[in-house]
């Protein structure tokens, strides 16, 4: 069957390109009848972006996602623009003929399906005309919050309200803007609004006027995060606001670790974090395009030293050319106060560009000082890390205002910082860090949100979001995220399952209780994370299915067939009112004569897939990130055990590993027969000692 094609194009900036590609992946995962083609624009002055593009194109097609680099267009002359958005907008506009040719080729390809949609981002509005000419439905993918979308849609009205020679920054009044429950002060306006006579403002105004020409706007947000704004947009006039589709949070869970030259030693950073206490470290990162002047860097350094908190600080040097990106410092001592690195040695770590999402997932991170780019905000919220606001450019000041004033989701360190015109003192910095790390507001809000999610999961009404996702499945995943971790690793001579036991009372007999590992049949076992009563129902169902198959066909049930049958049952519970999804995820380990050793993971939706290594339960994203880095195709069962224990030691919310906190099971062949073995506490303790993760028991 020919798959219908959806085409994407994005501004060649990491903050735009990465979420566009992640959205394409999400669309492809949720609808296998679609294929995605991503058109890529290159900027020679930004090698980091080219490195990212190369990492995509060298992997060729990923499933039904294809990358198509466009022929280079003539770049704008540097004297044609004053702001970087002017350069980007002109560069994008210069690619109009290349985009048109690419779309015509895709339409004419008889070997694939029809082009059913064309997604542009907020600065690619020049391609709306191409889509109209070729009769392709054009949609806007907006990778920033709904509040900034509302601001942009309101911008033509704001512009008409002031005279030609008047600047917004001269206004003494706050502004009432659609989507905001509070009046917005001018110091929270995006940077491009502060001077209406430069090309940056005129380009933003130009793009904003064209959004209403699209068939709809897809926004990387969700109803629970921005309810007031989304409701305001939905009820706005159709001639001002096209249909709005919130589809977030779309988050890149890998980050630059897989494609950026690791000049700062990602492994060393993670090792340093492993030595820190849980929720103790302040993480400062201002994005791939964020940099601060030397005076401000030194004030932050003094504030960090005075705060007394452990810190991880990603710092970058401002570019010499406004078309370029910031670079990592080659000599930190030139920018930092004299003696700072020596006095904070062991207490803090200063580095360059690091894989932000992986670090936010680490249990040592207790607070995130952010430039308030929307991708960073979503990553921080996803991992439950409180945010301290430090906006720098673009719409980040508006994002900070929303987090602090509208949502009460962040601590204000500064909300009106403008590089070159503002200096935040070391005293203000230290006080802000103290509020971030010692305050109650953010932590209470995150806890309340999790409790709210749990209550909604208990609802027995089947609720779909406007874009078609099932809320009950989302809430089931939230419940699983609070369960103990479980890890599965496929090796060349078996499958290893390791799980964290949540010991809720000292009175429990941990030696006789089994919370994670279950044998389904002689050739299949599983590890679970989530609501155990739900797991027991499904495990008993799987056992009956396996026995019936063996009785009927006189041979064991193929592993994938058993997994698929059980997932069909799970999927049925997502379809009807009065039934809620099973709040449990599984790792299935098994062997059959068709495919040998196999590892599958399934979630509450009934979706499943084969994996070489996988993690479920609490901190699964952090665990998955480590597995991606350390897994090798020729790994042995013994090496797989050590890797699984290592991953749990870095991601469990516990200071030490013991057999009382873990379960370990293996599926392997012995004399041609499939064996399932659950390790005894004594064996597991020996493994922990051999792996250097615990100390041998003292002899009496």
pLDDT of 559 reads: 96
pLDDT of 479 reads: 55
Residue 24 has pLDDT above 50, yes or no: yes
Quick: pLDDT tens for 473-514: 555 556 555 667 899 999 999 999 999 876 544 544 554 445
Q: Domain range holding 499?
A: 483-690
- Rounded Cα–Cα distance for residues 125 and 123 (Å): 6
Same domain assignment for residues 377 and 511: no
Residue 288 has pLDDT above 80, yes or no: no
Q: What SS3 class is residue 662? A: strand
Which alpha helices (DSSP H) does 333-492 contain, by range?
340-343, 356-360, 374-382, 396-401, 426-438, 441-458, 471-481
- Rounded Cα–Cα distance for residues 22 and 59 (Å): 16
Q: Cis (ω within 30 of 0) for the bond into 249? A: yes
**Residue 61 domain-assigned?**
yes
- Rounded Cα–Cα distance for residues 341 and 344 (Å): 5
* Nearest C-alpha neighbor of 142 from the set 243, 290, 271: 243
Same domain assignment for residues 438 and 503: no
Per-residue CA distances from 689 to 362, 526, 645, 661 (Å): 24, 25, 11, 15
Q: Highest-confidence range of 305-309, 368-372, 480-484, 661-665, by mean pLDDT?
A: 368-372
* Nearest C-alpha neighbor of 417 from the set 407, 409, 425: 425
Per-residue CA distances from 482 to 431, 449, 451, 472, 539 (Å): 32, 13, 11, 16, 21
pLDDT of 450 reads: 43
Same domain assignment for residues 331 and 425: yes
* Nearest C-alpha neighbor of 587 from the set 565, 612, 558: 612
Q: How far is CA 622 from the centre of its chain?
A: 11
Residue 239 has pLDDT above 60, yes or no: yes
Q: What SS3 class is residue 90? A: helix
From 143, 165, 191, give the residue that closes a domain: 143
Rounded mean pLDDT of 663-681? 92
pLDDT of 442 reads: 45
Rounded mean pLDDT of 346-351? 89
Number of domains in the chain: 3
pLDDT > 70: what percent of the chain? Answer: 83
Same domain assignment for residues 552 and 506: yes
* Nearest C-alpha neighbor of 11 from the set 141, 134, 190: 141
Residue 457 has pLDDT above 60, yes or no: no
Rounded mean pLDDT of 30-43? 86
Q: Highest-confidence range of 63-72, 201-210, 257-266, 434-443, by mean pLDDT?
A: 201-210
pLDDT of 417 reads: 80
Q: What SS3 class is residue 102? A: helix
Rounded mean pLDDT of 231-251? 83
Residue linked to tokens 């985009």:
99
From 97, 122, 143, give the residue that closes a domain: 143
Q: Which of 18-27, 81-90, 226-235, 614-623 has the lowest mean pLDDT?
A: 81-90
pLDDT > 90: what percent of the chain? Answer: 40
Residue 104 has pLDDT above 80, yes or no: yes
pLDDT of 518 reads: 93
**Residue 358 domain-assigned?**
yes
More confident residue, 659 or 634: 634
Q: What are phi and psi of 483, to 5 degrees?
A: -85, 170
More confident residue, 170 or 542: 542
More confident residue, 87 or 322: 87
**Entry pTM:** 0.64
Q: Which of 196-210, 443-457, 523-537 has the lowest mean pLDDT?
A: 443-457
Same domain assignment for residues 443 and 550: no
- Rounded Cα–Cα distance for residues 362 and 346 (Å): 18
Grade residue 456 by pLDDT with cuts at 50, 70 and 90: very low
Per-residue CA distances from 324 to 13, 43, 681 (Å): 10, 9, 57
Q: What are phi and psi of 235, to 5 degrees?
A: -95, 5
More confident residue, 246 or 75: 246
- Rounded Cα–Cα distance for residues 92 and 634 (Å): 45
Grade residue 301 by pLDDT with cuts at 50, 70 and 90: very high
Answer whether 496's CB lies under 8 Å from 640's CB.
yes
What's the DSSP call for residue 190? -
Q: What is the dihedral of CA 171, 172, 175, 180, to 10 degrees?
A: 130
Same domain assignment for residues 303 and 410: yes
Residue linked to tokens 């193929």:
558
Same domain assignment for residues 663 and 588: yes
What's the DSSP call for residue 175? B
- Rounded Cα–Cα distance for residues 215 and 407 (Å): 29
Quick: pLDDT tens for 587-625: 999 999 999 999 999 988 888 999 999 999 887 888 888
CATH number at residue 565: 3.60.20.10
Same domain assignment for residues 519 and 654: yes
Tell me the Ramachandran region of residue 437: left when phi exceeds 0, alpha when psi lies from -120 to 50, beta otherwise.
alpha
pLDDT of 455 reads: 39
- Rounded Cα–Cα distance for residues 207 and 192 (Å): 13
pLDDT of 475 reads: 58
**Angle of CA points 570, 575, 581, to nearest 5°:** 45
Same domain assignment for residues 396 and 507: no
pLDDT of 398 reads: 95
Same domain assignment for residues 424 and 492: no
**Residue 185 domain-assigned?**
no
Longest dimension (CA), the chain: 87
From 143, 173, 203, give the residue that closes a domain: 143
Tokens of 424: 């935040």
Tokens of 662: 């873990």
**Residue 210 domain-assigned?**
no
More confident residue, 452 or 214: 214
Tell me the Ramachandran region of residue 494: left when phi exceeds 0, alpha when psi lies from -120 to 50, beta otherwise.
left
Same domain assignment for residues 434 and 554: no
Grade residue 262 by pLDDT with cuts at 50, 70 and 90: low
DSSP E strand boundaries for 85-203: 115-120, 138-142
pLDDT of 321 reads: 61
**Residue 207 domain-assigned?**
no
Grade residue 466 by pLDDT with cuts at 50, 70 and 90: very low
Residue 460 has pLDDT above 60, yes or no: no
Q: Highest-confidence range of 226-240, 330-344, 521-535, by mean pLDDT?
A: 521-535
pLDDT of 600 reads: 96
**Beta strands 281-285 and 387-389: pairing type?**
unpaired
- Rounded Cα–Cα distance for residues 166 and 171 (Å): 9
Rounded mean pLDDT of 389-405? 92
Residue 349 has pLDDT above 60, yes or no: yes
Residue 293 has pLDDT above 90, yes or no: no
**Residue 364 domain-assigned?**
yes
CATH number at residue 438: 3.40.50.2000
**Residue 176 domain-assigned?**
no
Answer whether 437's CB lies under 8 Å from 365's CB.
no
Rounded mean pLDDT of 301-308? 91
**Beta strands 348-351 and 365-370: pairing type?**
unpaired
pLDDT of 632 reads: 92
pLDDT of 476 reads: 54
- Rounded Cα–Cα distance for residues 474 and 460 (Å): 14
Q: Highest-confidence range of 327-336, 458-467, 476-485, 541-550, by mean pLDDT?
A: 541-550
Instruction: Report DSSP letters for 325-342, one per residue.
Output: PPEE-S-GGGTSPTTHHH
pLDDT of 491 reads: 96
Answer whether 483's CB lies under 8 Å from 529's CB.
yes
Cα four-point dihedral sign 51, 57, 62, 65: positive
**Residue 213 domain-assigned?**
no
**Beta strands 517-521 and 281-285: pairing type?**
unpaired
Rounded mean pLDDT of 450-462? 41
Same domain assignment for residues 519 and 388: no
- Rounded Cα–Cα distance for residues 434 and 446 (Å): 18
Tokens of 604: 């509450």
* Sequence-distant (≥ 6) Cβ neighbours of residue 638 within 8 angstroms: none
Per-residue CA distances from 557 to 561, 586, 593, 598 (Å): 7, 18, 10, 13
Q: Which of 8-17, 24-33, 89-98 has the lowest mean pLDDT?
A: 24-33
164 strand-pairing partners: none
Rounded mean pLDDT of 384-397? 91
* Chain mean pLDDT for the chain: 83
More confident residue, 640 or 352: 640
């Amino acid at each position: 069957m020919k798959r219908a094609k959806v085409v994407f194009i994005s501004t060649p900036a990491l903050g735009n390109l990465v979420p566009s590609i992640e959205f394409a992946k999400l669309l492809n995962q949720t609808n296998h009848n679609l294929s995605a083609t991503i058109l890529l624009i290159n900027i020679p002055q930004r090698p980091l972006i080219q490195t990212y593009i190369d990492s995509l194109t060298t992997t060729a097609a990923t499933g039904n996602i294809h990358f198509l680099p466009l022929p280079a267009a003539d770049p704008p002359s540097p004297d044609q623009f004053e702001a970087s958005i002017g350069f980007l907008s002109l560069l994008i506009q210069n690619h109009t003929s290349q985009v048109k040719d690419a779309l015509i080729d895709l339409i004419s390809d008889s070997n694939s399906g029809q082009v059913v949609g064309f997604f542009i981002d907020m600065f690619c509005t020049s391609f709306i005309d191409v889509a109209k000419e070729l009769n392709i439905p054009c949609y806007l993918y907006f990778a920033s919050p709904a509040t900034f979308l509302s601001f942009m849609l309101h911008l033509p009205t704001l512009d008409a309200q002031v005279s030609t020679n008047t600047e917004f920054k001269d206004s003494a009044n706050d502004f009432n803007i659609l989507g905001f429950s509070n009046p917005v002060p001018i110091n929270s306006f995006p940077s491009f609004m502060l001077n209406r006579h430069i090309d940056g403002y005129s380009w933003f105004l130009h793009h904003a006027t064209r959004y209403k020409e699209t068939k709809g706007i897809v926004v990387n947000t969700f109803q629970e995060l921005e309810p007031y704004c989304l409701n305001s947009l939905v009820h706005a006039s159709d001639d001002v606001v096209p249909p709005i589709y919130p589809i977030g949070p779309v988050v890149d869970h890998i980050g630059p670790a897989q494609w950026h030259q690791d000049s700062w030693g990602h492994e060393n950073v993670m090792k340093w974090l492993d030595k820190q206490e849980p929720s103790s470290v302040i993480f400062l990162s201002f994005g791939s395009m964020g940099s601060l002047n030397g005076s401000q860097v030194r004030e932050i350094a003094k504030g960090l030293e005075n705060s007394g908190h452990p810190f991880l600080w990603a710092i970058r040097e401002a570019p010499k050319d406004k078309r370029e990106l910031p670079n990592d410092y080659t000599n930190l001592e030139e920018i930092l106060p004299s003696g700072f690195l020596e006095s904070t040695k062991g207490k803090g770590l200063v580095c360059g560009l690091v894989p932000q999402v992986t670090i936010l997932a680490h249990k040592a991170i207790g607070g995130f000082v952010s430039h308030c780019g929307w991708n960073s905000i979503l990553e921080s919220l996803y991992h439950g890390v409180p945010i301290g606001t430090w906006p720098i450019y673009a719409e980040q000041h508006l994002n900070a205002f929303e987090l602090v004033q509208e949502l009460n989701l962040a601590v204000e360190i500064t909300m009106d910082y403008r590089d070159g015109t503002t200096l935040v003192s070391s005293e203000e910095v230290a006080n802000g860090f103290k509020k971030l790390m010692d305050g109650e507001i953010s932590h209470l809000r995150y806890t309340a949100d999790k409790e709210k999610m749990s209550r909604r999961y208990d609802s027995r009404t089947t609720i779909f979001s406007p874009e078609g996702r099932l809320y009950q499945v989302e809430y089931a995943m939230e419940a699983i995220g609070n369960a103990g971790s479980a890890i599965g690793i496929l090796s060349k001579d078996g499958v290893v399952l390791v799980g964290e036991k949540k010991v809720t009372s000292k009175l429990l007999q941990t030696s006789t209780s089994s919370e994670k590992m279950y044998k389904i049949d002689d050739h299949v076992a599983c590890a679970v994370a989530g609501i155990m009563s739900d797991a027991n129902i499904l495990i008993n169902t799987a056992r009956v299915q396996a026995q019936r198959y063996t009785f009927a066909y006189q041979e064991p049930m193929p592993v994938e067939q058993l997994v698929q049958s059980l997932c069909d049952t799970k999927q049925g519970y997502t379809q009807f009112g009065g039934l809620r999804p099973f709040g449990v995820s599984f790792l299935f380990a098994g062997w059959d004569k068709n495919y040998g050793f196999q590892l599958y993971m399934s979630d509450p939706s009934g979706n499943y897939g084969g994996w070489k290594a996988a993690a479920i339960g609490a901190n699964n994203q952090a665990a998955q990130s480590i597995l991606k880095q350390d897994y090798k195709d020729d790994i042995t069962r013994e090496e797989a055990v050590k890797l699984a224990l290592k991953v749990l030691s870095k991601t469990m919310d516990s200071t030490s590993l013991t057999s009382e906190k873990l379960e370990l099971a293996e599926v392997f062949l012995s004399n041609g027969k499939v064996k399932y073995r659950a390790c005894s506490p004594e064996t597991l303790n020996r493994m922990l000692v051999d792996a250097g993760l615990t100390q041998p028991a003292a002899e009496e």
